[in-house]
A and B are shown apart, each in its own frame.
Chain A
Amino acid sequence: MALLELRGVSKLYQLGGEEIRALDDISLELNEGEFVSIIGPSGSGKTTLMHILGFLDSPTRGSVSLEGMEIGKASSRELARIRNRSIGFVFQSFNLLPKLNVVQNVELPMIYAGLGSRVRRERALKALEMVDLGNRLKNRPSQLSGGQQQRVAIARALVNNPRIILADEPTGNLDTHTGELILALFRRLAAEGRTVILVTHNPEIAAVTPRRIEIRNGKIVDHVDARLAGLHRPNPEQVPSAT
């Protein structure tokens, strides 16, 4: 059974009588330990897809399931628990709390996991160490550069040790060196058995991931899986599942 499964997922928005298809009939399976990149032009629906994969948003049509459990049937409490424990989300716009400092921001998911303050502090420091931000603990997000904020967001996504890591443009604001470190971190996480999905505009980064999904206008237009001996599938509609 796939870890995450999307079947015929569409997301429609009504804007002044006009219907926008942000996602159009997407079917997808993601397994444990996979390292996947999603590429596509701006406005193609990447972020929308990530929100649905991260249980933040629900599709207009189609079903999403985690380990066979359909989220349409999950209570809001179960969803909160999944977001807290199973998913680590790095937002394109970081979404840090401006009133909290770096450590407090990283501690946030652990508060809702019910961890005590000592454990929280310890783990937050470790996670920040990991993204090389151990020296800016007391800063507010507004006092950090874009790349630093991004790394705080990454630390926050990892701190509850989720099984699925969703990163929306995680290296967009980073220099080449730091970007590579973060990529190495993600690769390592995938190697440890976590499912890592990242959105990128950068073909070089996409080339690193074993599996690559390209979307355009809300549809999957290209689907490459290096593990299938470079098999190229220009029409994924016929073969929705890569493995």
Chain B
Amino acid sequence: MKTESPQTSAVESLLSELDLTDLPVGGTNLINAVAVGLKEIWAHKFRSALTMLGIVLGVSSLIAMSAMVKGMEIGQKEALLASGGLRKVRLEAQSVPVQQRHLRDFARGMTLSDATAIEAGVPDAEIVAPEMRLEDNPTLAANGKLFRTYMTLGVYPKQAAVSEHVVQHGRIFNDIDADEARAVCVIGTGIRDELFGRPEETGTEVIPIGKTMTINGQPFTIIGMFQLYEGEQDRKARLAAAAAKAAVLASGKKETTGPQRGRGRGGGSYAFWIKNNTVYMPLNTMWQRFQSSRSNAPAEPRLSTIEIKLHDFDRLNQSLVKIRNIMLVNHRGIEDFSFRTLEDWGEDIDRFVRNARLSGSLIAGISLFVGGIGIMNIMLASISERIREIGIRKAVGAGDLDIFTQILVESTVIALVGGLVGLLASRFVVKAIAWVAPTGNDPVITWTAMGVAFAFAAGVGVLAGLFPAFKAARMNVIQALRYD
């Protein structure tokens, strides 16, 4: 029965080579399942795209939400640092509490001796800076303009370190200025802006060192100016505006002054605003020229505040107890002072971040959940379309596990592709939100947020695929083959 034809000789070579026994065989390879999954998605592009939408929205909203919270957190922490940070403690003079009213005549207010006592008695106090504020928002005048400011302070030069002030132009006053109670001051750029004009308006930045400014009518010489304090956000916006203006000037066109975005004073920006509107003068000058000359002047300089910078935030509470004890001894038990720390602010930031994350995650989670339902739905539709295919695959040797894996991989691939698109889309979502509802703080997309969102998308894909995959794997071969 040897009918020699090309076919039969091919049979012999095939038969000799088709033997499976000595071939290294593993399970079904995953790469193949992924390839089949991708093909399946590609074959139903529109359907797959619609299915992915839920995941895309979920992932991008999760990232966008976390980016906005992160932005706000960064902005708040910047402001917190600009205000002196967590190591700063403010000891403020206050009126005698009601239950101690009868002792009112013995209260002598906060004095320099308190500062000295704290310096000596609290080893953790790195800097103790007494502060004398000129009350009732004094009037500043120079260059033919008037401005009332809140922060006009008589201080020691070391106060600058406590409040994170940096003198950029000129100098800060020295001991001779203080001893002689000279009429000299250092101003913030906000004061300069109001009295001498903003750099944006004047073209070149005015540095009014040596100029005279009156404070409540008394002439002072400006000897220094602090640097401009601003959040990262405002800095970028200012530089961008300056660049745009330069470009306009360079092109020779007439300048178009659109409506300027108001100086944000809400949230973290307020901290920078008030810092920029500060006037510093020597403590002794304040005492000699504004306090001792008043008719009801106290016998010794009255401080409004003592600012204390601690070495270590972790020992804040112990230090507060110590300071309080010293103050009570000094004040004969009269509590005409109060503490203010930025600890509460720090806690507020943390609490806000936690809450915002939680509610944002909830919304994104719902979106991902809905996306998962969509995937499950489409996978169920897909397997009932492919009953015959599943039957054929099983008939040629696919095990339940192979079919299970294939469906699971397909749903996961949909979710992963959706997740990737979501990662890309999140950039635009974030921009869109920032454009619709501008806040002081630009959203910051973090790698962590992207990783977490993507992992969630993958998880949703796996979960959504489980039931359809199980259903497909359990199909009976013959019933599936006969299905039409």
A interface residues, Cβ below 8 angstroms from B: 51, 56-57, 76-77, 80-81, 83-85, 89, 91, 95-97, 99, 108-109, 111-117, 119, 123, 126-127, 129-132, 156, 158-161, 181, 184-185, 187-189, 191-192
User: Is the beta-carbon distance between A161 and B19 smaller than 8 angstroms?
Assistant: yes
Task: Using CB atoms, name the residue of chain B closest to A126.
Answer: B14
Measured CB to CB, the nearest residue on chain A to B3 is A184
Chain B 9-31 interface residues, beta-carbon cutoff 8 Å to A: 10-15, 17-20, 23, 25-29
Interface residues of B (CB under 8 A from A): 1, 3, 5, 7-8, 10-15, 17-20, 23, 25-29, 32, 39, 43, 388-389, 391-402, 477-478, 481
A-B contact pairs, 8 of them (CB 8 A): A81-B397, A84-B396, A99-B39, A108-B392, A109-B396, A159-B18, A161-B20, A189-B15
Provide the residues of chain A in CB contact with B8, threshold 8 Å: 184-185, 188
A178 (CB) vs chain B CBs: closest residue: B7
Q: Other CB < 8 Å A-B pairs besides A83-B397, A95-B391, A115-B23, 4 of them?
A: A76-B400, A97-B393, A108-B393, A156-B396
Q: Check A83–B10 contact: CB distance below 8 A.
A: no
* Distance A56 CA – B13 CA, assembled complex (angstroms): 29
Prevailing SS type, chain A contact patch: helix
Across the interface, B10 reaches (CB within 8 A) one of A85, A109, A130, A191, namely: A130
| Set B1, B10, B20: member contacting A113, Cβ < 8 A | B20
In the docked arrangement, what's the CA distance between A67 and B401, Å?
A: 25
A161 B397 Cβ-Cβ under 8 A: no
Question: CA separation between A191 and B8, bound complex, in Å?
Answer: 12
Nearest chain A CB to B20 CB, angstrom units: 6
Q: Is the CB of A114 within 8 A of B25?
A: yes
Bound-state CA distance A112–B393 (Å) is 9
B481 touches A160 (CB 8 A): no
Contacts A56-B477, A161-B15 known; A129 to B10 CB distance under 8 Å?
yes
Known: A57-B478, A112-B402. A181 touches B395 (CB 8 A): no
Most chain B CB within 10 A, of A95, A111, A113, is at: A111
**A-B pair number, CB within 8 angstroms:** 121
Q: How far is the CA of A80 from the CA of B474 in the complex (A)?
A: 13
Contact of B395 among A56, A126, A132 (CB under 8 A): A56
In contact, B399 and A80 (Cβ under 8 angstroms):
yes
Please tell me which one of the listed residues B3, B13, B18, B399 contacts residue A112 in the complex, with CB atoms under 8 A apart.
Answer: B399
Instruction: Considering the complex, give the chain A residue whose CB is closest to the CB of B395.
Output: A56
B3 touching A85 by the CB < 8 A rule?
A: no
Q: Are the C-beta atoms of B401 and A77 separated by less than 8 Å?
A: yes
Q: State in angstroms the CA–CA spacing of A112 and B13 once bound together.
A: 23
Q: Is there contact, CB below 8 Å, between A108 and B478?
A: no
Are B399 and A181 neighbours in the complex by a CB distance under 8 Å? no
Tell me whether A89 and B395 are in contact in the complex, defined as CB-CB below 8 angstroms, given that A114-B25, A123-B18, A126-B17 are known contacts.
yes
List chain B residues, Cβ under 8 A from A76: 399-400
Residue ID in chain B nearest A84 by CB atoms: B397
CB distance B396 to A112 under 8 Å?
yes
Residues of A within 8 A of B43 (CB): 99
Assess the A123–B17 pair: CB atoms within 8 A: yes
Beta-carbon contact of A85 and B14 below 8 Å = no
- What residues of chain A lie closer than 8 Å to B1, measured between beta carbons? 187-188, 191
Q: B5 to chain A: closest CB distance in Å?
A: 7
How far is A158 from B19 in the complex, measured between Cα atoms in Å? 11
**How many angstroms between the C-alpha atoms of A161 and B15 in the bound complex?**
7
A135–B313 Cα gap in the complex (Å)?
Answer: 81
